[in-house]
Every structure is written in C-alpha cells, then in structure tokens.
Amino acid sequence: DQEEVAFLVAKYDLTAIPVINQNNKMIGIITVDDIIDVIEAENTEDMLRLAGVHEEENINSPLGKSVTRRLPWLAVDLGMTFLSAFIVSLFEDVIAQAVVLASVLPIIANMGGNAGNQSLSVMIRGIALGDLDLDSENGKILLKEGLLGLINGAAIGLFAATVMYFIHGNPYLGLIIFLSLTLNLFIAGLLGFLIPMVLKWMGFDPALGSSIFLTTFLDIVGFFVFLSLARIFINLLL
C-alpha cells in the first residue's frame, strides 16, 4: 500500500518508482512529491490516532465535525475510567482511615501515564520509521522498555518517597509509594511496548487510541497495587 511505497522511497532515497503491469510494461510512475504527501498524511494519522482523534480532523475542521470526531473516544475513555473509580471505591474503608492516601493517587496516576506515553511514542515512531524488526527484536525491546521502566520508576519512586517522608514523617508511607511507583513505571514500560503490538496483531493501526488505553489501564493497576499495599500495612500508616 501507499505507506510501504513511501517507506521504500524514504529508506533508499529514491526519487521515483515505476509502476508496471503483469507484462512488465510500465503503466505509470510515482514521483517523490506524491510520496511526501503520503508521509505527511501517515505522520498526521499516527499522531492524531495516538491521542484518540480521527485522522481527518485538523485545526480548521468545523466545530460540529470536531465534536463528532473526538467525543466517541472520550466516551470510550469514560467507560474505562469508571473502572478505575470502581477500584478506588473498593478501598474507601482504607482511605477513610488514612485520608493522606487520596492525595497520593494523583502522583501514581500521573507518573504512570506520562512514563507510559514516553515508551508508547518511541514505539509508534519506531514502527513508522521501520526501525523495528518485529520478528527478531520483540523480546529484546520488551526487556529494554521493562528495565527502563524499572530504573526510572525506582529513581522517581525514591524521590517521591523521600519528599512524602519529610512531609508526613511516616517511613512506611514512603515505602509503599516507592514500591508502587517502581512497579507502575515498570508496567508502563511493558505496556508502552505491548499495546501497539497487540493492536497490530489484531489488525488495527498500532497508534489507534493507544494512549487512552494505556493511561486508563495504568490508573487501574497503579491504584490497585498502591491501595492494596496500604490495606496490608494500614496499621503502620496510622
């Protein structure tokens, strides 16, 4: 398809590609200025779909069209967000005992989402540029993104835990924040790789709404882990 042609032209610095029929007769030519348009269109599609925006949306789209193009993804997002609200509601008894836990939830959610979006952007770009040999390098890249999440998670977790210890004076609160952020950013790295891969395997565009799936899933896992640890160690937190 047009994406593959554009990719070949970009990779081998071609300036034109002949189009032949079954008898090897040249029936046309694809020139490089057509290719530039395809590349720009594919890049636009990737960036917009990643964020849950219809690929035909642009800055000058009329208001009504923009509403009908963006609202469906927000509705999908809302449906999934009810799940993370439900997870938090399962721990209302724990939060009622130590209300400080509520103020840690935004840290867990925001850091997981942003770390995941870093991995996701690098992956989507790697796929678009053909930098990724999907058959032989899967395992290597999954391992790298996982390790990266673990290292960044531990660094961010240590910093967050130290600050919260100085504010609240409870080392156990710091410890569960450290463990939760480390695990959440580890999972963020894995999912930043796995979500586009799974979308691709299912025959969808790897960018399609992947940031929305990722951030919501990380909220769910992050809240569950953090509040479960809080429940187990609640006596140490009071």
- With respect to a copy of itself, which residue has the nearer C-beta, 100 or 175? 100
Please state the closest distance from residue 21 (CB atom) to a copy of itself, in A. 26
Mark the segment that binds a copy of itself (CB under 8 A) among 18-26, 156-164, 197-205, 228-236. 156-164
Of 47 and 175, CB closest to a copy of itself: 47
CB atoms within 10 A of CB 26: 9
Which of 2, 138, 142, 144 touches a copy of itself by CB under 8 A? 144
By CB under 8 A, the count of residues binding a copy of itself is: 91
Residue 61 three-state SS: coil
Name residues contacting a copy of itself, limited to 104-133 (CB under 8 A).
Answer: 104-107, 109-111, 113-115, 117-118, 120-126, 129, 131-132
Let me know if 47 is exposed, middle or buried by CB neighbors in 10 A (0-12, 13-18, 19+): middle
Determine if 53 is a binding residue for a copy of itself (CB under 8 A): yes
Q: Does 225 bind a copy of itself (CB under 8 A)?
A: no
Contact assessment for residue 232 and residue 92, using Cβ atoms and an 8 Å cutoff:
no
208 near a copy of itself, rule: CB under 8 A: no
Looking at 30, 95, 179, 234, which residue binds a copy of itself (CB under 8 A)? Answer: 95
Cβ of 20: how many Cβ atoms within 10 Å? 10
What are the b/e assignments for 174-210, b being 16+ CB within 10 Å? bbbbbbbbbbbbbbbbbbbbbbbbebeeeeebbbbbb
